[in-house]
Amino acid sequence: MACRLDIEIQSRKLLKPSASTPDNLRRLKLSLFDQLALRTYIPVLFNYLPSSSSTSYDDELEKSLAETLTKFYPFAGRFAKDIDPFSIDCNDEGVEYVQTKVNADDLAQFLRGQAHNDSESSLIDLLPIKDVEPSSPSSPLFGVQVNVFNNGGVTIGIQISHIVADAFTMATFVNEWAHTCLTGRTVSNNPGFGQLSLLFPAKVLQFPSPSPDLNTNTTTTGPNYKIVTRRFVFDALAIENLRKTIKDNDMMMKQPSRVVVIMSLMWKVLTHISSAKNNGNSRDSSLGFPINMRGKLSCTAPSLEHALGNYGMMGIADRKARRKDDELNDFVKLVGNTIWNTCEAIGKAESVDDISSLAFNNHIKGVEKLLQEDKMDVYGTTSWCKLPWYEADFGWGKPFWVSPVGLNLIEGAILMDTKDGNGVQLTICLKEKNMTEFEKHLHIFSSTPILG
């Protein structure tokens, strides 16, 4: 049994923006992409080593957060379902802001002393929002928990409703907050809220019935459905060695990226596990992943490279059942070509209506596959790579480790850059029995587990 972190809450409040949101910005319409996002919180931890300046962080962090919220004003609002189900009431009600004292020397030492199976529950305790309905009109859209360890190390736990932000938006916010805290000045440019909803407004949509419950983190109880999380790191050398095993073929993306290689490897291992469970008989399999659309559109006049909110389209790679396991090369081809084909379709779209239809149709395709989980395997993953997670310096240096936490997803994974920018951290959530088998295959790809 794991020993939980001994956390003492010093303060908890609803922190409001330092200036009121203007009346003309009080209602933020949601976009189609916001509408299709999961009704859940995106959780991430920023972990900092102790420094002389981290002992006097309280006032600066809180003040700079309030100032940053004046620009990211929807985060301090609430869902306005009683008025308009497709909008945010930017009423400055506030974000959840918690300050704690952690009675442990430091995070890394604590986790090294924990049983590998139990460390995730300790990390979840470092997050601010618990036991609330993510899409309730009364629930906060954003939360911050500042955890200070005995040695002065700091872990900032952040959660944001996926309906108002994707990973790009969260990374943008955290870096603007850090910049304001470090320099005392806000970033001059204004964030692009509202751009996407003007072009791609939310609308009444018809989904397949019965629709799977895509918007909660609940799972069936019982030993076969316990969800566990592991993290594995692939350094630059491990990724290069994997690339060397990929043969030349007719893949449209000739040089597979780090993300394509690791996503493909994960999919290969999971299909092998599925085949072994079915006496060597493989099943049809799909891997779904969002593709960031910023900078990919040619049919719209305004630049959307910095648009905030959700702006990703689902890509789905399909693999038919085989008599034998495919090579990594085959999975790389499936994933790479899916990305290439989806981006080509986005670039060739002649109107925003074409983009909306493509996004919705791809989403429905994913839903329909989930409805067939008794007949096929469906996996989901997403990449947070190439985002400036490790640039967030609040005044006591850049983080030594950034990671998602507490995802509770079935057969899902998130990829992030390692601190040096050359490797990939794979955070994967699987049913417990599947995870046991997944770890047995570590020798295939020479990765190492880290911090939980």
Do 56 and 107 belong to one domain?
A: yes
Do 294 and 439 belong to one domain?
A: yes
Residue 103's CB is within 10 A of a number of other CB atoms, namely: 12
Please state the domain count of the chain. Answer: 2
Q: How far apart (Å, rounded) are the C-alpha atoms in residues 434 and 276?
A: 11
Q: Does 314 reside within a domain? A: yes
Q: From 184, 199, 214, give the residue that closes a domain.
A: 199
Q: Does 215 reside within a domain? A: no
The CATH number of residue 100's host domain is 3.30.559.10
- The alpha-helical segments, DSSP class H, found in 157-297 are 167-183, 195-199, 236-244, 258-277
Q: From 166, 199, 232, give the residue that closes a domain.
A: 199
Q: Does 218 reside within a domain? A: no
Q: Does 316 reside within a domain? A: yes
Do 184 and 227 belong to one domain?
A: no
Do 106 and 144 belong to one domain?
A: yes
Q: Does 1 reside within a domain? A: no
pLDDT at 283 over 80: yes
Residue type, 42: I
Do 263 and 178 belong to one domain?
A: no
Q: Does 2 reside within a domain? A: no
Q: From 199, 231, 247, give the residue that closes a domain.
A: 199
Do 145 and 105 belong to one domain?
A: yes
pLDDT at 243 over 80: yes
Do 160 and 126 belong to one domain?
A: yes
Domain region containing 274 = 223-449
Confidence of residue 354 (pLDDT cuts 50, 70, 90): very high
pLDDT at 222 over 80: no
Do 254 and 395 belong to one domain?
A: yes
Do 252 and 330 belong to one domain?
A: yes
Q: Does 251 reside within a domain? A: yes
Q: Does 211 reside within a domain? A: no
Q: How far apart (Å, rounded) are the C-alpha atoms in residues 269 and 438?
A: 7
98-147: per-residue pLDDT in tens?
A: 999 999 888 877 777 665 556 787 889 999 998 788 878 889 999 999 99
Do 281 and 171 belong to one domain?
A: no
Q: How far apart (Å, rounded) are the C-alpha atoms in residues 2 and 291?
A: 38
For the whole model, what pTM was predicted?
0.91
Q: How far apart (Å, rounded) are the C-alpha atoms in residues 437 and 449?
A: 15
Percent of the chain with pLDDT over 90: 57
- Name residue, tokens 């994997």: 242
Do 233 and 174 belong to one domain?
A: no
Do 171 and 244 belong to one domain?
A: no
